[in-house]
Structure 1
């Protein structure tokens, strides 16, 4: 097959909507309000733990399937980080409300999100979309999504509280540190793009 024939096929593949990875990401999004209901309303901690564990595991699964089946799409590139971010923010707010994590930890993570939103606003003003997801950011997200079910396990099951709490907080703090490192990378990348645009336009850097 020629390159000219491959290129339209590749574009069509990236424009797909009905794919298995996108379906998994959509289910993960629906899991966010389900978790909040189970954890904050009916206080069904074990069920909420299962939802968190499934949501965190499926973050890896949808990426693996997308690469395996060659179903990487533009929609998936938006849904996957959106689901990650909503899971992290919703879980932190819920955990803070029930004293599973201290408010200082939540504030530190929310401050990073505010920094990233500011960078995205600047990029959009100069005609750019969100920067590509950095592997450091993916690692941080993985650590945080792994930490939350373990922290909930420590809070819900006193028999394993000591071990689960130690493991959960180790994952959480490493995740928070890498989350900020990834945020710094995004800010630097955004600044470089803006400087390049202003340089082309002859404006101040």
Structure 2
């Protein structure tokens, strides 16, 4: 009974942290683009990344994983990532590739996720490779926000490594999707 209540809960510590991350997005953009205070923008981005880790840990540790959180957490992540990548494209044109890849990945995962939820009536959480991709992306974004004089070759190498990991994650997520479809083939849409 308690587990069911937690699953359907809306106001939980992890969900509050996810909303906090959403509220940080315009603050980070303001400090990056508006006043060009890259240190403050970088610190806010680090705080956003840390609260992402904390909300996941709290959700699992205190059994406060909710269906709302399973949706809200990745939405906060992706909106943060897209907003910061959009800002970074101003100074680092190679970020356009990462930005485009992230849009394609998230669009495909949203479509496949909708199909899976419709078939099995459950929201699945992030996988290890998705977490690795997120960690790499946050790291690359933080490095580029804070290290304004990053050598072009290192910048390119970091972005390419992130593209490879993100693509790998997308392939594994799509594989999971097709496996789920195979297992639930007899379930009507």
C-alpha displacement at 1:169, in angstroms? 5.6
Deviation string for 1:110-153 (max 9, x for gaps)? Answer: 33233323423544665656543211101110111122111111
Residues matched between the structures, number: 188
Give the aligned partner of residue 170 of structure 2.
183
Is 1:146 aligned with 2:133? Answer: no
Q: Is the 8 A contact 1:120 1:129 kept in 2?
A: no
- 2:91 partner SS: coil
Q: 1:60, 1:169 → 2: CA distance?
A: 27
| Structure 2: 5+ residue stretches without partners | none
Q: Is the 8 A contact 1:21 1:66 kept in 2?
A: yes
Q: Is the 8 A contact 1:146 1:171 kept in 2?
A: no
- 1:185 partner SS: helix
User: Rg: which structure is higher?
Assistant: 1
The structure 1 residue matched to 2:10, chosen from 8, 17, 24, is 17
Q: How does 1:148-187 map to 2 (within 5 A)?
A: 148-155=141-148, 158=149, 161-162=150-151, 166=154, 171-187=158-174
| Structure 1: 5+ residue stretches without partners | 1-7
Q: 1:64, 1:127 → 2: CA distance?
A: 26
Q: Mean Cα displacement is larger for which, 41-50 or 24-33? A: 41-50
Bigger relative contact order (CA 8 A; separation at least 6): 2
Give the aligned partner of residue 99 of structure 1.
91
Change (3 A) 1:141 1:42: same
- 2:104 partner SS: helix
Change (3 A) 1:14 1:171: farther
Q: Is the 8 A contact 2:25 2:80 kept in 1?
A: yes
